[in-house]
Structures are given as structure tokens and as C-alpha cells.
Amino acid sequence: MPSFTTFLKAALLAFSIAANAQGTPGTLGFALGIHKINDETCKTTEDFVADLKLIKEKTGSSVVRIYTTSQCEAFKTLMPALKETGSTAVVGLWATPPDHFLKEIAALTGDLKEYADQVVGITVGSEHLYRKELTGQELADLIKKVQGEVKTLGLDTPVGFADSWNLMADGSANPAIKQSDIILANAFSYWQGSKITNSTQMLFDDIMQALQHVQDVKGTIDIPFWVGETNWPTGGKNFEDAVPNKDNAETYWYSAVCGMLGWGVNTFVFEAFDEPWKPAEKNNDVEQHWGVMTVDGEPKWDLVCPKPSN
Ligand SMILES: *[C@@H]1O[C@H](CO)[C@@H](O)[C@H](O)[C@H]1NC(C)=O
């Protein structure tokens, strides 16, 4: 059993995750990068097959998330790899600027029918509200457009969006929530400057606030919901009280990630593999160290739930 405080248990029950009555764990998924070596080299279908096999072997997961369909021809390249390995994906469209969004839609709809079984959901944008690139209503309109395209193909793939938990909790996302068939809420205790000892509580508090608000706005608990991104980095600079290192990342995995799954909440971990070519920002190279595996596919710890007893 995951060890949580009664505070968390009470919060979870109050927020009606009682759908988990039989104790069905949530589904574990991973954000998957589309580049290898550097930003200019795109993964091939063979690279994706190798990634997906490793993810399955080391974690048992067979669900991934990508953030673009057109860049690196990611949709076209990934889909055959998903089919070959019996995996599925939540596929993201990069929603801005408008001419790029049209390219993303075209890259999706061309082959979506052929790969309908591989696509469990479509997200319109990632954190566009957080970056103030779109309003809730603008995002809702884009979601509606993609829903129309999917329907035109005779498919019923759920379409929604992914954004930071606080934009859901504070009402900014309401029009997009209303329009969506699937919702992903991102939450990083590291970027909230949390001590590792409080990081699990913070993730649960964030996600439950987002989920409660989503359920209120939808008027139902019957909405596909995922933690869209979470994890703890193994390198980079301290952020306030958050210290990135392997021990803390391992602690976060067994407590926060395994805990969420244990409560029946689907969770995408950001991310499967390190991306060492990502640039340092504000003198912090933390973006290179979010993988649960190294760039060479070595697990940084035993990637199972719950923690193995030794
Ligand atoms: C621990 O996390 C909770 C939930 O996010 C937060 O309310 C509280 O302020 C945090 N405590 C500390 C000491 O940071």
C-alpha cells in the first residue's frame, strides 16, 4: 500500500475518486521526445520501436505522449512503431501560431483513420494557457475545430487539452474544460520549489484541486483525466527548496508517481529518456535531466510500483 496521510485520503475520497473502488491502478504513461542526439536529428520509426520496447520492458507501460504531429513528421513516424509494439499514444497538436496549427491538423488527419486504435486521445496544445498564448475561450474554439475534423473522419477519438493544474483550479480554463473530452493536468512539485519531503503531498493537493474543478465544471466525474506531466529531475540547479538529484527523484517516483497510480489516477511521467541536448535556461540545465532513463536507455532506479522490498 502507498503510504499517505489521512489528509490525502480524505481529500481523495471527497473528490470522488471512488471509481477506484476495486483498487484498479491508474495507467502509467511517459512523455517521449522526438529527437535523438540533437534538436535537428529526428527519431525514425525504428528508434521509436526501440524506445517503446525499452519502456515496456523496464516499466510495464505501453502508453506515450507526444506534443507535435508535424515536427519531425512525428505522427507519421511514431504510428507504425506503436502498432508494431502494441502501444498507444495521446497525441498532441502544437496549437500556435495559427498557420502552424493547420500543419499539425493536416499531419494528424492524413493517417488518423488508419491508426485510430493507436490514438487514445488528442490534446490541443500544451500549457498554452500557462504561457498566456491563448485564452480559455480561444483554446476551446481550437479544440472544437479538431473535434470536427475527427468527426468528419467518422471517428470518436477524445479531444481535449493539457495545461498546468493551477489554470484549471482557478477557472481560467473553464471554456476549454467544457469543450473537452479528455483533460491532462500538469504538476511539478520541483517547479513549486517544494522540499522533497512535502513533494508528494503537494502533487496530490495540486491534482485534486484541478480534478475537483474539472468535475464541477463538467458536472460529472465521468471524464477521462490524466496527470499530464509530473516527475522530479535528477540533475540541474536547486529551485528554492527543491533539490534535484537521483535519490530525490527515486523517492518521488515511489511516493508521488506510484501513489497517484495507486489511487487510480492515470499519470504521464515527464519523461521517458533524458534529452542532454536541451539548452540550459537561466544557467540551469535541469531540462536535460527529467528522464527516468538515461539517453542510452538505462533505468536510473527500479522503475516499478510499489517500491521493491529488499
Ligand atoms: C506542503 O504542501 C502543501 C500542499 O501543496 C502546501 O499547502 C504546504 O504549504 C506545503 N508545506 C510546506 C512546508 O511547504
Per-residue pLDDT, averaged over 83-108, amounts to: 98
Give the atom of ligand 1 at the shortest distance from the alpha carbon of 202.
Answer: 5
Q: CA-to-CA distance for 175 and 179, rounded, in angstroms?
A: 6
Ligand 1 atom 9: the closest Cα is on which residue?
Answer: 202
% of the chain residues with pLDDT over 70 = 93
The answer to whether 271 is a known catalytic residue is no
Secondary structure (3-state) at 10 = helix
Per-residue pLDDT, averaged over 117-146, amounts to: 98
Q: What pLDDT, on a 0 to 100 scale, did the predictor assign at position 305?
A: 96
Which residue segment(s) compose the domain that 106 sits in? 4-289
Q: CA-to-CA distance for 23 and 69, rounded, in angstroms?
A: 35
Distance of CA 258 to the CA centre of its chain: 15
Catalytic residue among 73, 84, 127, 133: 127
**Domain assignment of residue 309, yes or no:** no
Checking if the pLDDT of 14 tops 60, the result is no
**Domain assignment of residue 143, yes or no:** yes
Checking if the pLDDT of 41 tops 50, the result is yes
Ligand 1 atom 13: the closest Cα is on which residue?
Answer: 198
Q: What is the pTM of this model?
A: 0.93
Give residue-wise pLDDT tens across range 187-238. Answer: 999 999 999 999 999 999 999 999 999 999 999 999 999 999 999 999 999 9
Q: How confident is the model at residue 116 (pLDDT cuts 50, 70, 90)?
A: very high
Checking if the pLDDT of 40 tops 90, the result is no
Are 217 and 262 a contacting pair, CB within 8 Å?
no
% of the chain residues with pLDDT over 90 = 90
**Domain assignment of residue 201, yes or no:** yes
Q: How confident is the model at residue 19 (pLDDT cuts 50, 70, 90)?
A: very low
Contact 201 CB / ligand 1 (< 6 Å):
yes
Cβ-proximal residues to 278 (8 Å cutoff; 6+ apart), any chain = 285, 287, 288
What are the phi and psi torsion angles at 217 (to 5°)? -65, -40
Tell me the average pLDDT of the chain. 93
CATH number assigned to the domain comprising residue 192? 3.20.20.80
Contact 274 CB / ligand 1 (< 6 Å):
no
**Domain assignment of residue 124, yes or no:** yes
Q: What pLDDT, on a 0 to 100 scale, did the predictor assign at position 251?
A: 98
Residue 190 CA to ligand 1 centre (angstroms):
12
Residue from 165, 202, 239 to probe ligand 1 pocket by mutation (most atoms less than 8 Å from CB): 202
Give residue-wise pLDDT tens across range 295-308. Answer: 999 999 999 999 99
The answer to whether 84 is a known catalytic residue is no
Contact 202 CB / ligand 1 (< 6 Å):
yes
Q: What pLDDT, on a 0 to 100 scale, did the predictor assign at position 18?
A: 40
- What percent helix, strand, coil does the chain show, rounded to 5? 45, 15, 40
Q: How confident is the model at residue 23 (pLDDT cuts 50, 70, 90)?
A: confident
Domains held by the chain: number = 1
Give the atom of ligand 1 at the shortest distance from the alpha carbon of 241.
Answer: 14
Cβ-proximal residues to 252 (8 Å cutoff; 6+ apart), any chain = 189, 196, 199, 200, 231, 232
**Domain assignment of residue 214, yes or no:** yes
Contact 205 CB / ligand 1 (< 6 Å):
yes
**Domain assignment of residue 80, yes or no:** yes
Checking if the pLDDT of 99 tops 50, the result is yes
Q: How confident is the model at residue 171 (pLDDT cuts 50, 70, 90)?
A: very high
According to DSSP, residue 296 is labeled T
Per-residue pLDDT, averaged over 85-109, amounts to: 98
Q: What pLDDT, on a 0 to 100 scale, did the predictor assign at position 5?
A: 40
Catalytic residue among 104, 229, 250, 287: 229
**Domain assignment of residue 162, yes or no:** yes
Within the chain, how many helices (H) and strands (E) appear? 10, 8
Please choose, from the candidates 226, 229, 236, 247, the residue with its C-alpha nearest in 3D space to the C-alpha of residue 275: 236
**Domain assignment of residue 39, yes or no:** yes
Contact 198 CB / ligand 1 (< 6 Å):
yes
Q: How confident is the model at residue 38 (pLDDT cuts 50, 70, 90)?
A: confident
Residue from 194, 195, 230, 240 to probe ligand 1 pocket by mutation (most atoms less than 8 Å from CB): 194
